[in-house]
Structure formats: C-alpha cells, structure tokens
Amino acid sequence: MGKKGIPKGTKRTYQHTITVDGEDIGDYQPKLVKSNALRQGKIYEDFCVLNQEFLKYIMHCNLTKNEYQVLMFLLSYMDRDNKIIIDSEMIEHHLGINKTHVNKYIKKLESHRIIYKRVLGYRKGSEVLLNFDIISPHMVYKNPNNKEKVGQHKELMASKGKPYLKQRNMFDGGVDYVDHETGEVFHSSQE
C-alpha cells in the first residue's frame, strides 16, 4: 500500500485567488497577512497573555496559600477586559474558604494592586453586594488581538498605576524592579 500525500523532497506551492470589482482594481496592491495561530479555531478561546515581570512581583508579595487560591480562582473566571463579576459567597462555595476570610484575602490582593475592586451595586430587595473586580491590566490580557482592543488595554494600563517601578541600575546597567511601598528591589535583569 502506497503512502498518501506529496512525494518526499517535493516543494509545496500555494495559490491565492483575490477577487476585486473592476472599479476598485485601480491602486489595489494585495498583501499576504499571516494567520494568527491564537485566533484559529476555538483551541485558544480561553487563553490569555500573562506578564512574567508581574508574576515576579506577585512572588515578592509573599501571598499565603489561600490568597494564591483566590487569585487563581479569579483568573480562571476572568472575562474579556480582565473583569470578574462575582461575590464572596461564590468564592467561598468553590474554594471552601470562610466568607469573611475571602474578603480579607481580596483586600490583601487589592492592597498589592494585583486586583482592583469596584462595587456595582446591590441586588433589589436584598443586601448581597456584587463585586466588580479587575485583574491588574499590567498582569494579564485576554481579548482579541486587534488594534482597538489593544489600545483600550493600554489606556486601562495607563489609568491604573503600576504597583512597582522599573529603574536603571547605574552600577551594572541593568534594570531593577522596585516595590512602590517598601522601596525594596525584588528583581533585577540585564538588558
């Protein structure tokens, strides 16, 4: 039984057909645009881009096991634009952590500017508070890779101050990452 496909050593060729109306053909110059593997199919629908620099900052924050659990939970439920609409009861239900402790852990993540918390409002007739949390845009990006969305994300990054500074080290020419609050250098890199 013979092998299927093209014979070994044969060069593959591709043919592209572009159809343009007669009146639009004037100054038209076709460009080949490489396809983005992250947008093909649904394989990467739930993927996001993480900033490793920010992950080094998170390691510096010395979070507890439960704070890491809450952070991972929020990351796993984050929608596009880094938002999570959730209440502490849902986190309590999924992670088995006491509701008052969940609020304490979220406040700690807020104090380190890993998440930003805003209040949406109350449900009618009850006192259940809905939280509107945003994972720091400096840490993660989950959205279509187009100019408008990336532009919106950059605006969000500019509006939310970075929780750490980057500064040039005069001694070795590298870059130091400095915690805003403590002034401690938590990472250095050579450029």
pLDDT at res. 37: 57
C-alpha–C-alpha distance, residues 119 and 106, integer Å: 13
How many other C-beta atoms are found inside a 10 Å radius of the C-beta of residue 123? Answer: 11
Tell me the per-residue pLDDT of 106-162, one tens digit each, with 9 for 90 and over. Answer: 889 988 989 887 665 555 444 444 556 788 888 888 887 778 888 888 888 888 778
DSSP β-bridge partners for residue 189: 175
In terms of DSSP H, where are the helices of 37-86? 52-60, 65-77
Strand 129-135 and strand 115-122: pairing? antiparallel
Tell me the per-residue pLDDT of 23-46, one tens digit each, with 9 for 90 and over. Answer: 655 666 666 666 655 555 566 777
CATH topology of domain 49-146: Arc Repressor Mutant, subunit A (1.10.10)
C-alpha–C-alpha distance, residues 131 and 105, integer Å: 14
Tell me the per-residue pLDDT of 2-26, one tens digit each, with 9 for 90 and over. Answer: 566 667 767 666 666 666 666 655 6
How many other C-beta atoms are found inside a 10 Å radius of the C-beta of residue 141? Answer: 21
Q: Is the pLDDT of residue 66 over 90?
A: yes
In the predicted model, what is the mean pLDDT of the chain? 78
